[in-house]
Amino acid sequence: MAKRKFLNRKNLNPSTPVFTGVKHSDNLSVQLFKYNKDEYLEEIIFSENDLKEFSDSNYQHWLNTHGIHDVEKITALCKTLNIHDLVIQDILDVNQRPKFQEFDDYWFFSTKSILPSKTNEIESEQLSFIIGNHFLVSFQEKKGDYFEHIRYRIREKVGIVRERGADYLLYLLLEALLDNYFKTLERIDSEVEKFEIIDINSDPSPEILNTIEAYKRQINFIKKTIIPIKEIVTKVEREKFHLIQKKHIKYYFELKDLSLTLLDISDSILSRLESSVNLFFSVQGHRMNMVMKTLTVISSIFIPLTFIAGVYGMNFENIPELHFKWGYFAVWGIMILIFVLMLFYFKKKKWF
């Protein structure tokens, strides 16, 4: 994965926004949905000249943008919509933490999205939203299918999205992002179950620790990106914002519940990962104890035998047993007897 750069604010020209992410192959794509209960219009915006302010209150407007690496076009697009320069830079600075800002006529909200992956690493991207009266603008680093089901609902008039405002549309978009977190956590959870089947008599590979640490980094990243969503919803719950209709507050409460559920699942998986780490070291310690016990038994048996062999290996002439006819066989008998007695003793003590 290419290394991302961080924003150097000391040398930054405030009038020149900087994209801090990785340039993708996707070209800039701007898609506009204009709809109400009875009508629907979908068009592709090729330049900022094709875009007008969302002044028609009879329609809801959703402007979705892919490929924010094109700084010049993104800047021109935002200028057309009278978006503040600080917000433009926040859209392009994909390495900052999720944030929320309230302006007079709109909100700015950025978050992270992840995709389920078959590898031990997860792909993430920043998504930014600007919501105002009768309009919602979303910015994605690259083209994805997070919101395809929402486009289908708008096109086919499925559900109530065509009957509701931009605040309800924002709820649907955030719900779709949280659904990606559920899918990723479900995949990680199924992988973590494999670590819980470690046999006490097995010899687990040290690679398991690397895998566990990779999953822990993923879970901590997920928690770090979910918490701001929960905080924003809590803020909506405690304060009254004119951009959120009273009848839609209950949907944002649902987002809070989903966020708390994700955090609970994340904590549960982290706890199980920690247990797997502890089990790994317990297994390793148990195997080490078994090895040391075996070596101790062998050493204990050979200590007296080595002592006897050492005594009769001395070069003194007056050792009485040296000229005894059955001395050699007697020594062997004593050594074998000691060996058997010590085995019996260790077995009785349950050393092996």
How far apart, in whole angstroms, are the C-alpha atoms of residue 235 and residue 295? Answer: 64
Q: Both tokens of residue 121?
A: 């690493």
Give the 3-state secondary structure of 255-270.
HHHHHHHHHHHHHHHH
CATH number for the region 29-283 comes to 3.30.460.20
Alpha helices, DSSP H, located in the chain: 71-80, 85-92, 148-156, 166-195, 207-238, 249-311, 327-348
| The pLDDT of residue 2 | 44
Question: What is the model's pLDDT at position 66?
Answer: 85
Tell me: the pLDDT tens digits for 201-244? Answer: 566 667 778 888 888 888 988 888 888 888 888 777 776 667 88
In this structure, the strands spanning 40-45 and 60-66 are unpaired
Q: Give the sheet arrangement for strand 99-102, strand by strand.
A: 40-45, 29-35, 60-66, 135-140, 123-132, 106-115, 99-102
Domain ranges of the chain: 29-283, 312-348
Task: Give me the pLDDT at residue 257, please.
Answer: 92
Contact 297, 352 (CB under 8 A): yes
HSE at residue 282, side-chain half, CA atoms within 13 A, is 10
Question: What's the predicted TM-score (pTM) here?
Answer: 0.77
Residues 119 and 142: their CA atoms lie apart, in Å, by 20
Which residue's entry shows tokens 């105002």?
Answer: 132
Q: Where does residue 275 fall: left (phi above 0), alpha (psi -120 to 50 degrees), or beta otherwise?
A: alpha
Q: What pLDDT, on the 0 to 100 scale, is given for residue 1?
A: 43
The closest of 132, 204, 219 to 169, measured between CA atoms, is 132
pLDDT < 70: residue spans in the chain: 1-15, 24-26, 46-50, 53, 115-121, 144, 195-205, 239-241, 352
pLDDT at 237: 72
Instruction: State pLDDT tens for residues 311-343.
Output: 878 877 777 777 787 888 888 888 899 888 888
Say whether 14 sits in a helix, a strand or coil. coil
3-state DSSP call for residue 171?
helix
